[in-house]
Structure 1
Amino acid sequence: MIYFEYLILAVLVVYLSVRLSYYVDCLDKKTNLSGAFIGGVMLAAVTSLPELFTSLTAVLALDQPDLVQGNVLGSNIFNLCVIGGLVLFTAKRYKDASIANSHKNTLIFGIVMYLLVLFAILKPIEIGAGFFKVNLMSIAILLVYIFNVKTMGEDTSGAQEDDEVYIALTVKQIMIRFLLFSVGLVIVSILLTQVTDKIATELNLGATVAGAIFLGVATSLPELSASVNLVRIGNFNASFGNIVGSNLFNFIILCFADVLYVKGGIYVNESQVMNLLCFGIFSMVCTLGLIYFKKKPAITRVCGILILVSYVTSIALSM
């Protein structure tokens, strides 16, 4: 019964996230914001809502900081698998696709964030007083994210010529629907966290492993759905922005959790976490290869395969 609940909640996460992505797309067509910003910040934030609220539930309601690390780091590797898989199956189309320059910077900033998390685990430096303490690296991660958002907002490369599309909804109507579906996604995400915790207990899995497998995959379904659809219509730029932007946003979740978890530090030194960090960095480097060698299908295929192998290996070694 508990697995059926997990399946139903996962389906609801996909449905709600796809609707939210649609309304973000409607806003995109009614504004003059840069495409990199729309995909890498707005759409990325929307599809990362499940990671955000499942992680906050893990620390506030379940007292499981390990679940947060597994969720965020596992989701990040799975997200990159989406890009790797899509490039493998569409290598010829991808070769001629237009990709924003800022996506390279986002991936590099992502690698920096991985290193900051590693430093937070190995050399924790806490600032604050009393029960309110936060790891110095959480602040550094937040600053890196803000700087990256600024660069994406200024990037107009990778833009595509779109046909005029009539949207009957007004901006106000779009925003109301966006808020309603956001509330629904928050509720479903909280329930999904609780079900995942029960599955972890039943299967006798560690919280980090449960987070990486069950939460990491389920909460990455929005990125998967949105990216597959974007590639289907030929918008590789927005698809890339959604994935790499979501990964950076996920690191901000660790910052929020670090602030809200008053019983200790959110950065836990475990072998499973170290595996996810190492393979996460490796997958980010391979994804950089997808962009730098975009005109060479043979190399991009190798990078795509390595990303998929990285995810499978990280999960296997974490069991």
Structure 2
Amino acid sequence: MIYIEYLVLAILVVYLSVRLSYYVDCLDKKTNLSGAFIGGVMLAAVTSLPELFTSLTAVLALDQPDLVQGNVLGSNIFNLCVIGGLMLFTSKRYQQATLSNSHSKTLWYGIVMYACVFIAIFYPYELGVGFLKVNLMSVLILIVYLVNVKFMKHDESGDNAEDVYISLTVKQIALRFIIFSVALVVVSILLTQVTDKIANELQLGATVAGAIFLGVATSLPELSASINLVRIGNFNASFGNIVGSNLFNFIILCFADVLYVKGGIYVNEPQVLNLLGFGAFSMLATLGVIYGKKHRGAVLLCSVLILVSYVLSIALSM
């Protein structure tokens, strides 16, 4: 029964997230914000809600900080697998697509964040007063994210969206967005609890369980939204959703670090180091997909490397 519960909750996460991404897209049509900002910040934040609330549940209700690291780092690698997989089947169409300049910058900022997590593990330095403490690297990660958002907000290099009539008013869109967001939060919390039970039943470490079960399940929104966006030819929004979600996921570590008062959120474990190393490598391979856009062979090679990186990260973490 527990596996059926997991499957049902995962399906609900997909459905709710797809609806939320639709309403964000409606807001996109009603505003003058850049496409990079809409896909890389707004849509990314929406599809990352499962990672956020499952991680907060892991530290506040389950006392499992390892589950948070596995969830975030595992989700990031899986997210990039979405790009890798899509490129294998749509590389010809991708060569003709237009991408915002900020996507490559976002990936570089992501690599900086990987370095911050590595430093936080081996050279922890905490700031704070009384019981409220936070790792210095968590603060730096937040600053890097805000800097990236600032650049994305003004990047209109990849905008080519067509005008589409939206019958809903902004107020109606916002109301629906709030309702589906609340539902997604509830389902995400339940998904975390089920994942913890599966980890205990299979005798998996919390980090591995987070990387496999939570990492995949909470990445389903990015997967669903990105496949649909590529299907309609919007590679720019698809890339923005993935790379933006990865950066937002690192912010989850910051929140968890502040809320977990029993110790530090950054745990030194072999599984975590595997996810860090392969995650950074996947980021570099994704940069290859962008920089080698005009060369189909380079795109295909980098896509395969992304997929291999994910398989190895899981295999070596077991």
Q: Do both share a fold (TM > 0.5)?
A: yes
Deviation at 1:129, TM superposition (A): 2.3
Matched, 1:215 2:217: no
Deviation at 1:88, TM superposition (A): 1.0
Alpha-carbon distance, 1:18 to partner: 0.3
Runs of 5+ unmatched residues, structure 1: none
Deviations 1:159-214 (A, max 9, x none): 1141x322111000000000000000000000000000000000000000000000
Q: In structure 2, what residue type is equivalent to 1:144?
A: V
CA deviation profile, 1:37-96 (whole Å, cap 9, x unmatched): 000000000000000000000000000000000000000000000001101110100011
Match of 2:51 in 1: 51
CA distance in 2, matches of 1:13, 1:161: 27
Q: Which runs of 5+ in 2 are unaligned?
A: none
SS at match of 1:266: coil
Q: One-letter code of the match for 1:237? A: N
Partner of 1:85: 85
Q: Which residue in the other structure is 2:112 paired with?
A: 112
Give the match for residue 99 of structure 2.
Answer: 99
1:264 aligns to what?
263
SS at match of 1:159: coil
Structure 1 segment 223-238 matched on structure 2, within 5 A? 223-238=222-237
Residue 287 of structure 2 corresponds to 288
Of all paired residues, the percent bearing the same amino acid is 79
Report the 3-state secondary structure (helix = DSSP H, G, I; strand = E; otherwise coil) of the residue aligned with 2:128. strand
Displacement of 1:4 in angstroms is 0.1
User: Where in structure 2 are the equivalents of 1:102-251 lying within 5 Å?
Assistant: 102-162=102-162, 164-251=163-250
Q: TM-score, normalised by structure 1?
A: 0.99
The aligned counterpart of 1:68 is 68
**Distance of 2:145 and 2:7 partners within structure 1:** 33
Q: How many residues end up aligned between the 2 structures?
A: 318
Q: Which secondary structure state, in structure 2, belongs to the residue aligned with residue 318 of structure 1?
A: coil
Alpha-carbon separation, structure 1, partners of 2:177 and 2:277: 36
Q: How far apart are the structure 1 equivalents of 2:267 and 2:143?
A: 22
Whole-angstrom CA distance in 2 between matches of 1:129 and 1:179? 34
Describe the superposition over 1:215-234 as per-residue Cα deviations: whole angstroms up to 9, x where unpaired: 00000000000000000000
Two-structure CA RMSD over aligned residues (Å): 0.5
- Alpha-carbon distance between aligned partners in 1 of 2:178 and 2:217, rounded to the nearest angstrom: 21
Report SS of the residue matched to 1:127: strand
With structure 2 as the length reference, what TM-score do the two structures score?
A: 1.00
